[in-house]
């Protein structure tokens, strides 16, 4: 009990001491909270999108085979299906039909996708929510599409994909093979690329090697590579954001370092008086540790809470302009809080620990010198 009471007294003293230097400490507190808010926002948002994309892309094709000519992606002929099927370990080969469509009226790029089985048949399309919003089109509306020969073909909107799926479907236009070939001009017997299903995923490496050997003009892309690409994108993106805020972070570090390591003569005198009236070195150290903890813990909690609200309740509105780029069709989606203790502990040790440690060292130096010489400063 005695020890707890002593700590409470020291805590009272530390709080009073901080309040005596209100201006400087509140400025430090605001900047500190702001930095923790930004770092936490970046960690929360990148983790969320990374985890969600991982779950989604685990369902992407096992292998995509692209044909490349002169370094550019080219259409792949139907005959390749037979050659790919002949590779041992390949279970199924399908041609994929997809492509882009630029709509000058709304200055947006859409993605055409032909499903394996399109229930509505020729003359109809199913559109993503982003397409519906930019085209201002609803169920039953007829949309014109410019075909390769310059004429227009009209397709009726049979359905709109759920707005909840915007992260994967915002710009999609699903249509029949007939309409796709009519609009894009892609000849029969050709596909955009091919997808493979393999019997045993452990044989993937051997299968992709074989594909490269028997079809040297193709490039196999595995599901693993797709997932790694997205992991890299989100790491890179959070890295870019961190680089953007690093200027502010460095300014804070200099400010905090100056505040934490260089005790003012007034503070040194205070320590001298405390020692003069009987405080022990350990008490002075406790007092300074409490001062550091009061500022850093409060800033940590508030910064983390604000970041959580910013990312998961306010749709990360501060980051959106950076993320959207020039996309007309940026999907509206709510990030899911895949929060774990690891993220919280990372933020804690990145922010609270360094500041608290930095405040103790100069205080220990000041607390161990002779009180008489400190008071004479």
CA atoms of 118 and 96, how far apart (whole Å): 13
In the region spanning residues 170 to 189, those forming contacts with another protein, defined by CB under 8 A, are 170-172, 174
Question: Least distance to another protein from the beta carbon of 78, Å?
Answer: 17
CA atoms of 178 and 176, how far apart (whole Å): 5
Tokens coding 264: 């003012």
Question: Least distance to another protein from the beta carbon of 81, Å?
Answer: 15
Rank residues 110 and 272 by Cβ distance to another protein and give the closer one: 110
Question: Least distance to another protein from the beta carbon of 155, Å?
Answer: 18
Give the range of 143-151, 229-237, 250-258, 263-271 binding another protein by CB under 8 A.
Answer: 229-237
Instruction: State which of residues 71, 105, 140, 150 lies at the interface with another protein (CB under 8 A).
Output: 71
CA atoms of 18 and 15, how far apart (whole Å): 5
Q: Does 190 bind another protein (CB under 8 A)?
A: no
Rank residues 3 and 265 by Cβ distance to another protein and give the closer one: 3
Distance of CA 36 to the CA centre of its chain: 17
Q: Does 161 bind another protein (CB under 8 A)?
A: yes
Cα of first residue to Cα of last residue in the chain, in angstroms, is 37
In the region spanning residues 289 to 328, those forming contacts with another protein, defined by CB under 8 A, are 294, 297-298, 301, 304-305, 308, 312, 322-323, 325-328
* 294: nearest Cα among 7, 35, 38: 7
The helix/strand/coil state of 15 is helix
Instruction: State which of residues 68, 83, 151, 153 lies at the interface with another protein (CB under 8 A).
Output: 68
Question: How many C-beta atoms lie closer than 10 Å to residue 335's C-beta?
Answer: 18
Whether 92 contacts 290, CB under 8 Å: no
Exposure string over 73-103, b if 16+ CB within 10 A, otherwise e: ebbbeeebbeebeebeebeebebbbbbebeb
Measuring CA to CA, how many Å separate 270 from each of 13, 76, 214, 282, 284? 12, 80, 81, 15, 10
Tokens coding 70: 């002169």
* 242: nearest Cα among 353, 350, 314, 333: 350
Q: Does 75 bind another protein (CB under 8 A)?
A: no
Question: Least distance to another protein from the beta carbon of 170, Å?
Answer: 4
Instruction: State which of residues 106, 160, 168, 318 lies at the interface with another protein (CB under 8 A).
Output: 168
In the region spanning residues 333 to 372, those forming contacts with another protein, defined by CB under 8 A, are 336-339, 341, 344
In the region spanning residues 4 to 33, those forming contacts with another protein, defined by CB under 8 A, are 8-9, 11-12, 15-16
> Per DSSP, what are the bridge partners of residue 112?
99, 173
**Binding track over 248-287 against another protein, x by CB under 8 A:** ----------------------------------------
Measuring CA to CA, how many Å separate 162 from each of 53, 91, 188, 320? 18, 32, 31, 22
In the region spanning residues 33 to 52, those forming contacts with another protein, defined by CB under 8 A, are 52
In the region spanning residues 204 to 223, those forming contacts with another protein, defined by CB under 8 A, are 219, 221
Rank residues 35 and 63 by Cβ distance to another protein and give the closer one: 63
Rank residues 52 and 177 by Cβ distance to another protein and give the closer one: 52
Give the range of 24-32, 70-78, 254-262, 268-276 binding another protein by CB under 8 A.
Answer: 70-78
Rank residues 224 and 369 by Cβ distance to another protein and give the closer one: 224
- Counting beta carbons within 10 angstroms of the beta carbon of residue 341, is it exposed (0 to 12), middle (13 to 18) or buried (19 or more)? exposed
In the region spanning residues 96 to 155, those forming contacts with another protein, defined by CB under 8 A, are 96, 100, 108-111, 113, 115-116, 128, 130
Handedness of CA 262, 355, 39, 37 (dihedral sign): negative
Rank residues 35 and 131 by Cβ distance to another protein and give the closer one: 131
């Amino acid at each position: 009990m005695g020890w707890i009471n002593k700590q409470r007294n020291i805590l009272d003293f530390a709080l009073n001491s901080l309040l005596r230097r209100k201006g400087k400490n509140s400025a430090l507190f605001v900047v500190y909270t702001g930095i923790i808010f930004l770092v936490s926002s970046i960690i929360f948002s990148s983790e969320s999108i990374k985890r969600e994309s991982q779950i989604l892309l685990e369902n992407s094709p096992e292998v995509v085979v692209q044909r490349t000519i002169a370094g550019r992606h080219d259409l792949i002929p139907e005959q390749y299906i037979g050659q790919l099927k002949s590779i041992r370990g390949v279970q199924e080969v399908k041609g994929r039909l997809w492509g882009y469509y630029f709509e000058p009226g709304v200055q947006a790029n859409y993605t055409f996708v032909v499903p394996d089985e399109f229930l509505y048949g020729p003359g109809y399309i199913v559109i993503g929510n982003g397409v519906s919003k930019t085209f201002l089109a609803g169920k039953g509306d007829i949309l014109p599409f410019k075909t390769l020969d310059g004429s227009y073909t009209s397709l009726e909107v049979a359905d709109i994909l759920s707005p909840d799926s915007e992260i994967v479907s915002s710009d999609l236009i699903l249509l029949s093979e007939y309409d796709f070939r009519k609009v894009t001009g892609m000849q029969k017997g050709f596909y955009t690329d091919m997808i493979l299903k393999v019997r045993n995923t452990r044989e993937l490496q051997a299968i992709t090697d074989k594909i490269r050997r028997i079809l040297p003009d193709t490039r196999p892309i595995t599901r693993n590579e797709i997932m790694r690409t997205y992991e890299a994108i989100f790491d890179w993106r959070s890295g870019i954001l961190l680089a953007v805020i690093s200027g502010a972070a460095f300014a804070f570090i200099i400010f905090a370092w100056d505040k934490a390591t260089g005790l003012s003569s007034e503070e040194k005198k205070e320590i001298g008086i405390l020692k003069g009236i009987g405080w022990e070195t350990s008490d002075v150290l406790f007092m300074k540790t409490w001062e550091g903890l009061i500022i850093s813990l409060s800033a940590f909690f508030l910064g983390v809470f604000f970041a959580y609200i910013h990312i998961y309740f306010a749709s990360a509105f501060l980051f959106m302009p950076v993320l959207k780029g020039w996309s007309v069709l940026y999907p509206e989606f709510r990030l899911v809080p895949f929060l774990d203790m690891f993220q919280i502990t990372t933020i804690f040790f990145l922010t609270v620990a360094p500041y608290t440690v930095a405040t103790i060292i100069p205080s220990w130096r000041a607390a161990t010198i002779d009180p008489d010489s400190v008071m004479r400063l």
